[in-house]
Structure formats: structure tokens, C-alpha cells
A and B are shown apart, each in its own frame.
Chain A
Amino acid sequence: MDISIGVLDCCILEALWHSRLPKSFNLILEDRPQTRVGHPTSSNYHFTMSASFPYIHISCPCNEERPQIMAVDSARPLSPTKSPTKRDFAVPVPSTPLTPVKRRLFPGTSSFDGTVATSGDADGERNDEEDDEDEENNFDPHDQRAAFSLFPIENLLYCEDCHQIRCPRCVTDEIVCWYCPSCLFEVPSSTVKSDGNRCTRNCYLCPICTALLVVIPVNHIPSSSSAAEQQQGPFNLFCSHCHWTTSDLSPPLQLEKPTSISAQLAKVTPSAHDAEFNRLKQHYAQQLGNAQEDFTNSPAALTRLMGLYTGLGAGGSGHAGGRKGRGVKKLEMKEIDRPREVVEEREMEIVEQMAKLGIHATTNTKQRLNQPHEPRFLSELRPTAVLLRTKRSKRCRACRHILVKPESKVQTTRFRIRLVALNYIPSLTIKRLDPSIQLSSLVPHKTHRFLLTVTNPLFDPISVSLLTPRYTPGTDYPSRVTILCPEFDVGANTDVWDDALMSTRTPAPVPTPPPQGNKDPRMATVYEQKRNYTSVVIEVVPAEIPDTRVARIRDERLLEIPIFVRVEFEAEVDREDEEGGGGGTSSTSGKHGAPGSSGGGGNPLGREKVEYSYWCVVGVGRVGDPVEGVVASEPNTPVRTPVATPVKAPRTPGVSKTPLRQQVRA
């Protein structure tokens, strides 16, 4: 987890450094405080969801690849006599992928345009009866399993060889180094296990509040200034947060030296559990030792073996019987001497102690679970050494390529390899077009317009198509969703200075944004287009949803829109051709010299069409109570574009050059 945070931080830093941070990203950062419209009253309760609306989560494709496991068929009664059949158990059912199209197409397979054209045509004529089939393929964000495959884009990696998003579940971890997060001391791998995965230096945590403990003398006088005086005598471990000290234990725990705490603690804290465990272990070792010795080396075992082969059998012949009997007897196992018995008196003493000491002398669940032997009373707690952490490199589980490789030095936060999805897949952001929209209470039947911005991190222009179900799936109260311009291009993520410096180059082909005067957002063209991002309008008409909170079912009012994103672009086939091509996708991680410095004059033979797609979920907000005056037959409902499946957007001629419109901040 710590690694992934590091990844994100580094990403932002690096993006700033290379000044490739798209402007929209800035906008989102600005936008955050406005959109934080949570429920302040309940923020202290665990029901609270920490992310505020809107949010965007991306579904890792591994969700679809997994075999769907069929649970037990409850509807079918099973007679007790009949043995259960295969159907009664989880059997992997060959599943159809959720995505409507094949995820990745190589050159030579059906092209992007063709697929869409046919499906678009067909869908245009389809009517509602086809919707059912549609729904089968739709990604349902309400599904319980979806919670395990949806991630913020910052948590995702990208495998260049598979052209696939990789979530934390699709990678295998390899440990690079172990270190203590408190003293940043690297622990060699040979001692990690024997130390119990904990720091063996002086890093100890308070067992009550998990703050770091400090060593202070028992007779601590804060006013006395002489250092020599302070270094005297027995020492305590002291928690500066909750003022717990090891002297609070019974018996009080005091150290002689302020250093090498682990060794001292191990000496003074014998555990009854460990003693019992060792007694048991010794018992079994003894028994097994006898048995093994007998079995392998002793003559008794040998005769027994011989007896087996000569067919004398276990019943035994007369003369060998005595000896064999002895051997067998020796092999026989005994139970431990004096097993610990359950004594009522002892248990009632604990009860008495509980009653006497009161409730605040007992440990709570968290404190108890952190200790190895689950003590009942606070006085039995021991300081816990800091758990070590690891730096891990991550491999793609399918192709074994390394996706993340941190520097092995503990202090550095740099990575040698880091293929984060943020650099590969277009990131979506959504914001309100109308600032009066209350994200926490959207008005039913009213058309809410949002601006969906697709930002391209790649150095190639991409064409994006967004598909969304006409009605939000997985709920009885579907809301109507329309993406006004479902297909569009997004410019390449060229350097900001490129345009300025290389005036001779023709700028990247940019589709025509709407004319300046046309402020009506209800049009089938893109709303805004800049260097590497494009914004389109998405219209949401929430249904009137009854408040199901009392009915104790899931939150029907939460409005989450699944969007299927399909991205297509041309990329370099061979990485060696990079000098010619310049700005190929494979160099987008930013490690290579100056991407995008040369023009797009690469060898056309060396390019291939890459296409990938994924589902993402846009958490728009919650639907509020119905408002008077806004009724179901509101004429505001968009009718212009066919819904459910986007038609092919009119591709604006790429050569037409239009002045970039100023961004309209709503």
C-alpha cells in the first residue's frame, strides 16, 4: 500500500516536472473542495465513504477473465438420498466476457471503424426488446464482486506487452528489500523471519495507542538539565501520546540499559504460552525421536521389516514375539503428562479480577489482536516491535514482465521501472457543467449536464469511443444516461513547448470544436478540445428513486454510471524504430530522452493499430428527493442522440484548422 501511494506521489511530481500535466488535471485539483459535499454529521462513523462525488473507478479486465463461479442452486431441492451433482457445487462456467467487442485487435483483424459501423447501424434499428440482451453484457457497479475489481486509476498498472491494465490482483509481488518504517534500517533477508518480521532495534510501539515509544529513565526529572543525571538508572518505555509506560505493567517492566531493548525485553517477558508450547513441542519431539529411531535404526524395527517380507506377519511367530512386542510398545505414543485441566476456580478468579479492576483494565479487540497471545488485561500487554515493511517489485502475472521495480535502497523513493496506468490509459474526469447541481442530491427527472473530460497521456492521438447503457444497470430505478458525443479524438500528449517552438510543424489534427457562438451543449459534437484532452457532455436524468434506506437494502439512490471506454491509436510496432517514429507509445513512460521531439514522420510500415477497452464507473452523486414541478414528462429530456449505443460521430475533417475556444468554466 505504501508503495502505491509512493507511485502516485511520484507520478504527480514527475508530471509537474515534465510540465506535461494536462490542464484539466489542474482543474480537477481545484475543483475538489467545491465538490466535497459529504455529510459532516456522520463523518465520524464508519459508514462514511471517504471519497466525495464525483469519482471515477476503472474496472480491471481481470474481472472478466475469471471464470464465473456458479453458487449452489437453491431453487432446486435436493433429495437427501441422491448424491449431489456437479451442479450443486461451484463449477467454472465458461463465461462470455462482459465487453461487447474483443478487447484488443491486432492489425489484420477487423478494424475499429468497421466494428462500430455495423454495430451502430444495427443498434440504430434495434429497439427496446434488444435491451435485455444488452443488459447482460453491461457492467453492474452495484454487483458485489465489482467492488473487488474497481480501482482508482492511481492504483492501476499497465503491462506494455499485454496491452492490458493490471490491477493489484493481476500482479505477483517480489520482495526487493525489508526495512523498518520507523528507523529506515534495512533488514537483511536472512534475519527477517527469525526476527518475527519486526524491527529488532529500538523501535517499539505502544500496545494501547500504537504510537512510537521512547526510552526515558524511570526517575525522569524534566527540569534537571544535566545529561549525566538523565542517563541514570532503570529505564522505561514511554508513550508520549497516551502516557503509557512499561511501569504500568504488572509486574512493572524496567530496563537497565537504554539500548538493545529487544534483547532485554525478551529476557524479562517470559510468556506462559510459549512455555506451554515448548513443553508440547518437546513432548512430541521426544515421542517422534523414539519412534524414528526405532523405525530406522533399531534391530526391532529391522526384524519387523524382515518379518513383513518373510511373510511371518504381524501376528508374529513364537520366538520373535517378545522382542517385537517390546519394539511395538516402544513405538506406542503417549499423551503428555499432566495436561492442563480446566479448573473452575481459575476461571472464576479471572471473572473476579474483571469485576474488581473494572472495565477499563481490559483490552479491546484491536489491542488484543495485535498481541501474539491475546491478553485479557491491559497489565498483560507488551510493547510491540514495529512491523517491517517491504519494497516490492511487481510482475505481470500473465507475461512475467516487470511492471514496477523500485530502487533497492531504502531511503530513495525512485523507481527503476514503473508502468503506471496513468501514463497509458486516458483518464476520465467528470465535472458539473452547471455549478448549481448538488451532487449529493440530484433532482429526479431533471436533466443534469456533466462534462466528461478524456485526457490522453500518450504521445499519439487517440480516438475514443464511450459506450454507456441507456439506463443505469443493476437497479430497479434506472436513470437515463446519454453521452452526447460518444466518439471523438483526443490529441497527442505533446510537449507544451512543442507548438511554440516548432512553428513550422502543422499542429496535430484537431477536430472542429463547435463554433464560438453556439453555447448550446446539447449537440453531438465535442464540447471542448485542447491539446491532449477532449470534453464531451453527458446528460443524466435520474429516476425518481424511493428512499430505500429504511428498507435496509442497498443504496439505490447512489448514481453510478458504467462507461465502456474503447481506445484506438496507432503505435510503433518495434521499439527499435523509435528514432524514426518519435513519440511512440512504448516510450511514453517518460524515461526515454525527448519524446515527441521529432515529428510524426515515422515509417508507416512500423505502425500498428492498438486498441483496448475497459469499463469504468463514474460515481456522479446521489439522487435526492423529488422536487415539485419537475415531473417525469419533462421536455428537457434529450432526444437528439440515439441512446444505449453511440452512433458513429461525424468525424470532422482533420485538416480544418479552427481557433481553440477558450474553456468555459461553468
Chain B
Amino acid sequence: MSSRDPTKLAPTTPYRSSAASHRTSLTANPSTPQSRFSTSAFSSPGASSLHQVDEPLIFEFGTRFFRAGFSNESAPRCKIGITPAMYGREGLKGRGGTRTNRRTGEPAGPRIRNSGSEEWELWLNDLRFKDLGVVEDLMERVLREAYNKYLLIESKSKRLIIIIPPVFPLALQNTLSQLLFLHFQPPTITYLSSPVLSCLAAGLRSALVVDIGWQETTITPVYELRPLPAHIKFSSRGTRSLVELFGQLLWNTIKPEGDDESWWRIFNWADVEDVSTRYGWCKSSADAREAARQRARQAFGLGSDKDADGEVNEDGEKIRKTSADIRAQRRRETIEGAQVDVTFKTPLLRESTTALTLPFEAMSIAAEYAFFLPSWINVESFKTEEGYIPIPSVEDLMDGCQSRVEYEDESEYALPYLVFLTLLNCPVDVRAVCIPRIIITGGAANMPGLKARILSDLKELVEERGGWNIVKKRNTMGDDRRRELVEKKPKKVEVELLQSEKDDLRIKYAKLGGVAPGTIRGVETMGAWAGGSILSGARIKGSVERYTIYMISRNPKWLSSAKIIIFMNLADTIFC
């Protein structure tokens, strides 16, 4: 007992720089007291620390939600969302006496960033302004609630498996480990990386995991259950930006002229988040493209041609409608006719609640702004007459700026383009495996239509770019023409042969239950938590954990908050 005396937790260096190839015990934090399980990892591969009689608890530390539960269960026992009240004092309901409401003067709280979202978050990657002590206190509070209210178990008896994002600030992980060993004293803590578990929960071994998290979207290629940290890409477009845009759009809708108040002062983040998860949806790729085309027509002063030649193809023939088309048409009509009634508490306005009736179609606009449109487009409102997205100027269209995703800031690429870039940068083998296995998970992925939209936009992008060439072709038409002139046309027999070879390949893949290479396919996952549950319930023998620590600084803005990537190599764990 004395060796694990929590009060004698030695403050050691927060990380070891030489840990890249260092085999440590299961506990990721080097400062943790060496528990009785640690030796087994060194001595014999047969005795595993993952193979234990009692099953561990699985915690997932998201930015917005904390999930906890037991292994071998399909869903976490509790999901705790962070609210401002959690930052408050016990005994004082509300925000603990330090925050203020503009009108009533009721206490609110310290505000660090100015979008008001930080009090709905447990932690952030950007630690510059974050008091780690507060994060620690809050984590402690959340954990205590989970243990005492939902798990109903003594914290000392259970091992922990903690699922963290692939890029997690080292300082935070250090804090978390210290906090756990001090207050809750679990026997061991195992950190697992979330994309691998998402991959596992989809039943795959390799995948491109697109995690649309709260603060950012992380795209991680996973190959044979090994994440490839060098190829991770990030975008600041996350679930938070979706909620932010919802709030912005709502406020623009009801804003009186000249009021420059920010939306988060008017609405409650929770209310807006509720609206976005309940009613938010995402247009299909075809519809969005059609809308963009109409906008372009209007920019040039042409009227809408929706009804005129929608059903006629270039040759002037009527396109025969398939049943899917008819169904889509009917759906479009249903959506067009639908209305949404939302009510918000708006204590800062004259009325304490504001009721709005919005077209259902408008609810898809926030996703459009948040994930697909370039960030320089002005955010309109839900009540705009001419569509919900501003009509681009002719110059923009001629310049091509409007539609060119690559002119975006590097941290703000639209999601389909970022997926494309990630795949493009991957090694060829990895790319070949990952293209038919794209997993989209995370908070916003539950929005209906979003997953399909990202995938079909990606498909289109690849077609437009003409495959996976790093060098973008400038003049595809000219290229085709030149090829026609230069290249020798294969004989007809050869073409047939090639075709039959391709067919053979396709049949072969179909037989294997896979898909042909190059087919973009999305796979549903049950989420990282379920993956952890499966993994810990599998009673794996012979685990060898290897920690790889990479320091990366990916955004000049965030240079000071260096990140740690910790991967327990699951591939080794299961398949050694």
C-alpha cells in the first residue's frame, strides 16, 4: 500500500524524449508508480495485462462528452455532456458566481475565448489560455459523477481503458493520469487511440477514419490496425463549427438591424446544439450541386432553369425517370413543404422566448457552411429570399475562387477535399486499402446525409481530378485531345481482353467479399467506445504494447501546445 501511496506521487518529467522506441508498461504516464502488472509486459509475452479476470472500465474523453461504461457492453453506461454548471461551485447552482448575464447581472463565469463555447468543453487542444488546474478539477468532477452515479463501483477495483484522440496534448494526458492515480487509484490505466478502435468497431483492419469531433476533424489512416501518424490531417471544421453556424444563422434570422451582438450571448449553446442535432440534415451531393449551379446562373443574370430543361438531356431527349429518381423527387417535395418550429430561450431579447418557424430545407444550410463551402462566404440567414447561400459575384466565378477548395486556409479545408488530400498523401498501398474503407464517425456524423455527402463529393472530386495524381491536370480537354493524337489506339481485341481481365478482377474481389480497388465506399462504425468494449472483452493473450511518441506541431498558431501521439499498437496486441 505504501508504494502506491497517492500522496507520494513523484513529480517526474512529463515525458521521455527517448520513448519513441521505448517499451513501457501499460500505463502511459511515465510518472505513474510501477504497478504490479508492469513486470509482465517485460518478462513474458504470454502473460498479458490485458488478460484479466475482472473486466476493465472504458472511458472515452471527448471534448464535449465523456463516456464511461463496462467492457463487453454495446453502449456506454453514461454519457456526460459538459455544461457551464459543472464549472460552478457546489452549493450554488448555476455558474458559480463569477459569470454574468448582460441583462440580469446574474453571475456567469470567466471567459477565455470569445465564442463562449469553452464552458461546454472538457479540454481543448489549444492549451495556451487554458488553466490546466481547471481542466483537472473538472475532469475530477466528471469522473466522480460517473463513478458515483452511473457506474456504482469502487474506483480502486477496476482497471481503466481510456480512449483518447490520436493527437492529445501531453500535458493533458499527464494531468489526467495524475488525477486518476491520486483520486481514484485504479490498478492500471491503458490509453488507446480512438481511430484504431473506430476501425475495430467497424469490423475492419484498415480504414481511413474521419472523426468529426467537437473541436476539429481528424483524419487518420489506419493500416492493419496501425495508425499512420505522419499522415494524419486536421481541419478546424468540426461539430463545434456546425453548432456555431447554426447559432449564427438563427441570430441572423431574428437580428434587428444594426445589432452587433454575438449569437452566443443571445442563445444558449445547449439550445442551439439541440436544434442542430435534432433537425440538422445534409443535402445530397446531387442537390447541392444543382443548387450551386442555380447560384451560378443567377450570378450571370440568368433565371432559374429548374423547370425548363431539368428533364431533358443534351440531345434534347427526355430522360427516362427511374424509380429512384421518382422517389428522390417525391422526397424533395416532402422536404420542400416541411416546416420547423423552434423555440429558444432568449432572455437577453425583449421576449424571454423566441419562436421561429423555419423551412425544413433551411436546416441543411448549416452543414453546408460548416463542412463544404469555403470559409470566406458570408453567412446569411434562414430567411433569405434568394436561397440561403449568397450568390457569388461574376468575378469570383470567373476567377474560380468560389469553387476552388485548395485556396482555403490549410486548417480549414472543406471535408471532402481534406479526405482527398489525406488519401493522396498516403503511401500507395495504404491508399489502395483505405479508399474502399472510409469510416466517418464523431458527433456530427450522426447528422443524416452527411456521411453520404462527404463520400459522393469525394467521388466527384476524384473524377474531376482524374484520379489520384498529385499533380493536378490543368487542361483535361487538351490532354484528351493530345492523347488521342499521340497514343496508339489499342486494337479491339486487346480492349476486349483488358475488359475481361478487369471483369475477372472484379469477380474475384466480389468473391472475396471485398470491393474492387478504387471504389470509394463508406463503412459504418459503432464508434470508438464500442471498439474499446470489444477489444477489452476479447480477452486477448500475448499483448505487446509499443508506444510511439511523436511531437508534431501542425499549426503555427498552436506551436506552443505540442502534441503527443500515443498509439498502442493494436496490431501487435491481437496479432502477434
User: Footprint of B on A, CB under 8 Å?
Assistant: 1, 39, 41-42, 44-51, 55, 57, 66-74, 76-78, 80, 83-84, 86, 88-92, 141-142, 144-152, 154-155, 168-169, 172-175, 178, 192-193, 196-197, 271, 273-274, 276-281, 283-285, 288, 291-292, 295, 331, 333, 335-345, 347-348, 350-352, 354-356, 358-359, 362-365, 368-369, 372-374, 376, 387-390, 392, 397-398, 547-550, 552-555, 557-558, 560, 619, 622
Q: Are A51 and B91 in contact (CB under 8 A)?
A: yes
| Chain A hits for B128, CB < 8 A | 71-72, 74
Q: Which residue of A lies closest to B184 (CB)?
A: A172
Instruction: Report yes or no: A365 in contact with B134, Cβ–Cβ below 8 A.
Output: no
In the complex, the answer to whether A348 meets B559 with C-beta atoms within 8 Å is: no
- CB-defined contacts of A548 to chain B, threshold 8 Å: 100
Report the separation of the CA atoms of residues A390 and B114 in the bound assembly, to the nearest whole angstrom: 41
Q: Closest CB of chain B to A135's CB: distance in Å?
A: 18
Q: Interface range on chain B: under 10, 10 to 19, 20 to 34, or 35 or more?
A: 35 or more
Closest to B129 in A: A74
Indicate if the CB atoms of A273 and B278 lie closer than 8 Å.
no
Contact string, B33-75, partner A, CB cutoff 8 A, digits 1/0?
Answer: 0000000000000000000000000000000000000101111
B92 in contact with A49 (CB, 8 Å): yes
- Given A48-B93, A147-B87, A555-B99, check contact A72 B104 (CB 8 Å): no
| A172–B7 CA distance with the chains assembled, in angstroms | 13
Looking at the complex, which one of B17, B133, B172 makes contact with A145 (CB distance below 8 Å)? B133
A292-B284 Cα distance, complex, nearest whole Å: 46
Q: Check B150 against A354 for contact (C-beta < 8 Å).
A: no
B335-353 CB mask vs A (1 if < 8 Å, else 0) is 1011011100101000010
Asked whether A83 and B17 contact (CB < 8 A) given A47-B101, A387-B149, A387-B150, the answer is yes
Q: Is the CB of A550 within 8 A of B102?
A: yes
B127 at the interface (CB under 8 A from A): yes
The complex places the Cα of A549 from the Cα of B140 at a distance, in Å, of 30
Contact of A335 with B203 at beta-carbon distance under 8 Å, contacts A44-B352, A342-B523, A550-B102 already known: yes
Across the interface, B97 reaches (CB within 8 A) one of A173, A344, A560, namely A560
Give the residues in chain A near B556, CB-CB below 8 Å: 80
Q: Is the CB of A276 within 8 A of B270?
A: no
> Contact between A277 and B133 (Cβ–Cβ < 8 Å)?
no
List B residues 128-146 near A (Cβ within 8 Å): 128-134, 136-138, 140-141, 144
Interface centre among A67, A273, A278, A344 (most CB of B within 10 A): A344
B279 proximal to A (CB < 8 A)? yes
**Nearest CB of B to A523, in Å:** 32
Smallest CB separation, B329 vs chain A (Å) = 12
For window 84-113 of B, CB contacts with A under 8 Å fall at: 84-85, 87-111
Most chain A CB inside 10 Å of its own CB: which residue of B107, B335, B437: B107
Which residue of B has the minimal Cβ distance to A93?
B11
Which of the residues B76, B91, B107 comes within 8 Å of A152, measured between beta carbons? Answer: B91
Residue of A nearest to B447 (CB): A347
Contact A72 B561 (CB under 8 A): yes
Contact yes or no, A619 B97, CB < 8 A: yes
Q: Which residue of A lies closest to B561 (CB)?
A: A72
**Chain B residues near A49 (CB-CB < 8 A):** 92-95, 97, 106-107
30 intermolecular pairs with C-beta atoms under 8 Å apart:
A45-B104, A49-B94, A57-B92, A67-B11, A69-B132, A80-B553, A88-B560, A144-B110, A145-B131, A147-B87, A152-B91, A155-B90, A168-B90, A280-B201, A281-B538, A333-B574, A340-B202, A343-B452, A344-B453, A348-B331, A348-B448, A355-B335, A359-B278, A363-B278, A376-B446, A552-B102, A553-B111, A554-B98, A554-B111, A558-B97
- Does the CB pair B526–A48 fall under 8 Å? no
Task: Kindly identify which residue among A150, A351, A619 contacts B448, using a CB–CB cutoff of 8 Å.
Answer: A351
Measured in the bound complex, the distance between the Cα atoms of B529 and A372 in whole Å is 12
B183 close to chain A: CB less than 8 A? yes
Q: B471 at the A/B interface (Cβ < 8 Å)? A: no
Minimum C-beta distance from A345 to chain B (A): 8
Contact in complex: B278, A77 (CB < 8 Å): no
Q: Considering the chains assembled together, what is the distance between the CA atoms of A178 and B75 in angstroms?
A: 22
Chain A proximity mask over B512-524: 1 for CB below 8 Å, otherwise 0: 0100000001111
Partner of A373, one of B75, B148, B347: B75
B450-471 interface bits toward A, Cβ cutoff 8 Å, 1 = contact, 0 = none: 1111011000000000000000
**Closest beta carbon of chain A to B284's beta carbon, Å:** 6
Neighbouring B residues of A557 by C-beta, 8 Å: 105
CA distance A70 to B452 in the complex (A): 44
Assembly CA distance A67 to B360 (angstroms)? 52
Task: Say whether B281 contacts A351, CB under 8 Å.
Answer: yes
Q: Given A41-B104, A49-B97, is A359 in contact with B448 using a C-beta cutoff of 8 Å?
A: no
The winner among A51, A86, A389, A555 for most chain B CB atoms within 10 A is A555
B202 touches A374 (CB 8 A): no
Q: Considering only CB atoms, which chain B residue lies closest to A337 in the complex?
A: B513
Q: Which residues of B contact A351 (CB under 8 A)?
A: 281, 331, 335, 448-449
> In the bound complex, what is the Cα–Cα distance between A91 and B156 (angstroms)?
26
